[in-house]
């Protein structure tokens, strides 16, 4: 019994080592049915822990109806909802397929997926391409404009991006993130620098590989106008970093945090594939003109994978400009968020540093023991969806991961360690 703390410390050190040793490279864009061998027709992957149709929130249902029409499984949104309620579709979490998705997180067979390969460990993780802001499927949007955009992403943007990335031999992401942190990004609600840096790298290759001038112009315009384009790249990268850190026996480090608009789910490295789930909390933030907290849906998305690897709310110190955007207080408090997250993590990432904090590394490796002991909840920067299907994004804010998840995870971890 007495060596248990030492065993945990050693296991956690190994988990952190694997996270820090990652070498994520954005290598390709491929259709989901190629990328995900277990993704079947009429299967819909969603964000967060497992959930049945009956318990899904409004925007999740709206997105499912929309994606069913997009895939041609239903002719209308009403028909799609009826089919979903009748059990015509199979729902599984993205995380069960080495995949992540923002907000509602829809992943289906014909969508093009970003491919990030962690070359240090030989694993690949996937995420759909960011659709832009406002009325989009990830926030529950599902009208003709949303579906037409998805078709363009499938037919033009995805193939073009894939060809450009293959032409480049991939884009190493660790140095890109390091530069983004020094330029004011935290890679969750602020991706302006990394989106721009990525476009700068991609543009020549796109010009070489996309021969249709109108298509090329549309691709450059779409990426150039989307400050959050890099978010989905960062998410696939986060998943590729956390995957090798899973399954370290005796490790109490968090490898997954995610939410589906109803539940928040956590997984630990040392507790296999078990989910620890609690009701998700409401984001606190700022709303677009015409909307208020009364319109907001509880938090959702797999995007908290970036916080798992030390970015987003954990790297807020690098991004004072985002603090005001998400209504988290004065910009001068940015570093406080990062310092606070340092209380629940076991290390820092020496390659991802924050200049204004004397080049401190972003806090990395959330230890469930520290979360429960201190009561300090992981802070997640997030977008806010309208609670009704079909409306879309209405704001941005911060949300705290519910403590109950971590308390349940601690009990599950203790059981695994033979402690009662």
**Binding-site ranges for another protein (CB under 8 A):** 1, 4-6, 8-9, 252, 369-370, 372-375, 403, 407, 410-411, 413-414, 417, 419
**Closest Cα partner for 386 from 179, 217, 140, 54?**
140
Q: List helix spans (H) across 21-143.
A: 32-35, 58-70, 77-85
Question: Shortest gap between Cβ of 369 and another protein (angstroms)?
Answer: 4
In the complex with another protein, the residue whose CB is nearer, 261 or 363, is 363
**Closest Cα partner for 334 from 350, 348, 345, 318?**
318
Question: Shortest gap between Cβ of 1 and another protein (angstroms)?
Answer: 7
What's the rounded Cα separation, in Å, for the pair 415 and 408?
11
Question: Shortest gap between Cβ of 184 and another protein (angstroms)?
Answer: 28
State the pairing for strand pair 24-31/171-172.
Answer: antiparallel
In the complex with another protein, the residue whose CB is nearer, 88 or 414, is 414
Contact by Cβ (8 Å): 42, 35:
no
In the complex with another protein, the residue whose CB is nearer, 237 or 316, is 316
Question: Shortest gap between Cβ of 58 and another protein (angstroms)?
Answer: 32
In the complex with another protein, the residue whose CB is nearer, 11 or 100, is 11
In the complex with another protein, the residue whose CB is nearer, 279 or 324, is 279
In the complex with another protein, the residue whose CB is nearer, 14 or 351, is 14
The torsion region of residue 243 among left (phi > 0), alpha (psi -120 to 50) and beta comes to alpha
Question: Shortest gap between Cβ of 375 and another protein (angstroms)?
Answer: 5
Residue 299: partners with Cβ closer than 8 Å, 6 or more residues away: 259, 261, 264, 280, 281, 282, 283, 380, 382, 384, 399
Question: Shortest gap between Cβ of 246 and another protein (angstroms)?
Answer: 20
Take residue 90 and report the two structure tokens written for it. 């199979």
In the complex with another protein, the residue whose CB is nearer, 8 or 319, is 8
Angle at 157 between CA 99 and CA 134, to 5 degrees: 75
Question: Shortest gap between Cβ of 379 and another protein (angstroms)?
Answer: 15
């Amino acid at each position: 019994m007495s060596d248990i703390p030492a065993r945990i410390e050693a296991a956690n050190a190994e988990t952190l080592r694997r996270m820090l040793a990652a070498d994520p490279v954005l290598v390709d864009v491929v259709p989901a049915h190629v990328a995900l061998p277990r993704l079947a027709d009429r299967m819909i992957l969603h964000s967060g822990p497992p959930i049945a149709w009956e318990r899904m929130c409004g925007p999740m249902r709206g997105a499912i109806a929309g994606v069913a029409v997009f895939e041609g499984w239903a002719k209308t949104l009403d028909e799609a909802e009826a089919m979903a309620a009748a059990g015509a579709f199979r729902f599984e979490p993205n995380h069960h397929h080495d995949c992540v998705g923002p907000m509602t997180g829809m992943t289906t067979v014909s969508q093009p997926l970003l491919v990030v390969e962690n070359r240090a460990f030989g694993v690949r993780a996937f995420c759909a391409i960011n659709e832009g802001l406002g009325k989009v499927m990830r926030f529950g949007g599902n009208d003709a404009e949303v579906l037409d955009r998805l078709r363009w992403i499938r037919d033009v943007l995805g193939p073009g991006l894939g060809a450009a990335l293959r032409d480049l031999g991939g884009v190493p992401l660790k140095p890109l993130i390091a530069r983004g942190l020094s330029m004011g990004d935290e890679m969750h609600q602020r991706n302006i620098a990394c989106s721009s840096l990525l476009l700068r790298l991609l543009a020549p290759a796109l010009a070489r590989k996309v021969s249709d001038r109108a298509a090329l112009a549309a691709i450059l315009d779409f990426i150039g106008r989307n400050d959050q384009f890099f978010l989905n790249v960062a998410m696939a990268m986060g998943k590729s970093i956390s995957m090798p850190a899973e399954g370290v026996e005796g490790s109490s480090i968090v490898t997954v945090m995610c939410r589906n608009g109803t539940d928040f789910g956590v997984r630990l490295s040392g507790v296999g594939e078990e989910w620890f789930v609690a009701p998700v909390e409401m984001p606190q933030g700022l709303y677009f003109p015409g909307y208020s907290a009364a319109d907001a849906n509880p938090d959702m998305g797999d995007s908290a994978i970036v916080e798992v690897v030390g970015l987003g709310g954990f790297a807020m110190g690098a991004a004072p400009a985002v603090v005001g955007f998400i209504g988290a207080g004065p910009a001068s408090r940015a570093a406080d968020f990062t310092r606070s997250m340092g209380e629940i993590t076991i290390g820092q990432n020496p390659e991802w540093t924050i200049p204004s904090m004397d080049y401190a590394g972003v806090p990395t490796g959330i230890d469930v023991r520290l979360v429960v002991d201190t009561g300090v909840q992981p802070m997640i920067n997030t977008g806010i969806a309208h609670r009704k299907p079909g409306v879309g994004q209405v704001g941005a804010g911060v949300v705290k991961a519910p403590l109950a998840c971590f308390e349940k995870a601690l009990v599950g971890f203790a059981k695994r360690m033979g402690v009662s």
